[in-house]
Amino acid sequence: MNPNKKWWIDINLETLKKNLELRNFECFIVDKKEDIVPLLEKIIEKGSVVSCGGSMTLFECGVIDFLRNGKFNFLDRYKEGLSGDELGEIYRKSFWADYYIMSSNAITLDGKLINIDGNGNRLAALMFGPKSVIVIVGINKLVLNEQEGINRVRNIASPMNAKRLSKNTPCTSSGKCHDCLSQDCICSHIVVTRRHPVKGRIKIIIVKEELGF
C-alpha cells in the first residue's frame, strides 16, 4: 500500500476507534479480510446460536463458510431451497441468537452506523434481540458525516444491491437513487445508530480493505 494512503487510513481509523468506544461500541481493526475469521474464532463461543444479515461482505471474507463448519448452530438464511415461510422463520429466530453478524452500509468518522433496509430484519436485530452483534465493514464504508453516509447508501450501496437482487427499481437503470416507492424498493427503513445503551454488545470489526457495496 502507498505509504501516504496507509497514513491516511491509520490516522482516521485511530480517530474512529476512539469515537466508537465513546458510543459504547467495541472496536477491532484488522489489516486484511483474511484476519476476520481468526478473530471471529476468538469472539464466538463454539456451540452458539449464530445468525447473519444479508451481506456481500460476509461472503467475501469467508464468514458464511466459517459459520457452516459445524461448530455453531447457524441459522443459515442462504441455505438452498428455503421457502419464503422458512426464511421468515429464520429471520424471527435470529432475535434469540447468541451472535448476529452483519455489515453496515456506512460508518461515520464520528462513530455512527448508517443503514438502509428493505424488510428491516437486519436493522431490528442490530437494535435489539441477539445477545451480541458483530458488524464487519471495509474501509470503503467510512464517510465523513451522517449526510454523506446516507448519500453513499442511497446512491452507491442500494443501487448495486438492487441490481444484485434483480429488483425492478429506477436505480437499477440509472445507478442512482430516485427516492422511489416502487414495489421492489429495498429502501424501506433508514436507521442511524448513534450509540448503544449496552456497552460492548455491538462489536465492530473494521478492515483496511474495500469490502462489499
Per-residue pLDDT reduced to its tens digit, 63-106 = 999 999 879 999 999 999 999 999 999 999 999 999 999 999 99
In this prediction, residues 166-176 reach a mean pLDDT of 96
The x, y and z cell numbers of residue 5, run together, are: 494512503
User: Is residue 24, in this structure, part of any structural domain at all?
Assistant: yes
Number of domains in the chain: 1
State the pairing for strand pair 106-108/49-52.
unpaired
> In which band, very low, low, confident or very high, does the pLDDT at 160 lie, cut at 50, 70 and 90?
very high
> In which band, very low, low, confident or very high, does the pLDDT at 2 lie, cut at 50, 70 and 90?
confident
pLDDT for the residue numbered 131: 98
**Distances from the Cα of 10 to the Cα of 20, 60, 80, angstroms:** 15, 22, 40
Work out the mean pLDDT of the chain and round it to a whole number.
96
User: Which residue in the block uniquely carries the three cell numbers 476476520?
Assistant: 36
In this prediction, residues 3-22 reach a mean pLDDT of 95
Distance CA 155, CA 87 (A): 28
pLDDT for the residue numbered 3: 87
Of 81, 142, 88, nearest to 112 by C-alpha is: 142
In this prediction, residues 173-183 reach a mean pLDDT of 96
Domain extent at residue 169:
3-207
* pTM, full prediction: 0.96
Higher pLDDT, 6 or 51: 51
Beta-bridged to residue 194, according to DSSP, are none
Residue 185: Cβ within 10 Å count = 18
pLDDT for the residue numbered 70: 79
User: Is residue 213, in this structure, part of any structural domain at all?
Assistant: no
CATH number of residue 133's parent domain: 3.40.50.10420
The x, y and z cell numbers of residue 169, run together, are: 427499481
Distance CA 131, CA 42 (A): 16
**Distances from the Cα of 175 to the Cα of 113, 119, 163, 170, angstroms:** 23, 21, 9, 8
Burial 113-130 (b: 16+ CB within 10 A, else e): bbbbbbeebbbbbbeebb
1 pLDDT more than 90:
no
- Asked if 45 and 73 touch (Cβ cutoff 8 Å), the reply is no
User: Is residue 18, in this structure, part of any structural domain at all?
Assistant: yes
User: Is residue 25, in this structure, part of any structural domain at all?
Assistant: yes
Write down the H helix ranges in 102-170: 121-127, 146-152, 158-164
> In which band, very low, low, confident or very high, does the pLDDT at 107 lie, cut at 50, 70 and 90?
very high
Distance CA 156, CA 141 (A): 10
In this prediction, residues 109-115 reach a mean pLDDT of 98
User: Is residue 59, in this structure, part of any structural domain at all?
Assistant: yes
Dump pLDDT digits (tens) for 186-203: 999 999 999 999 999 999
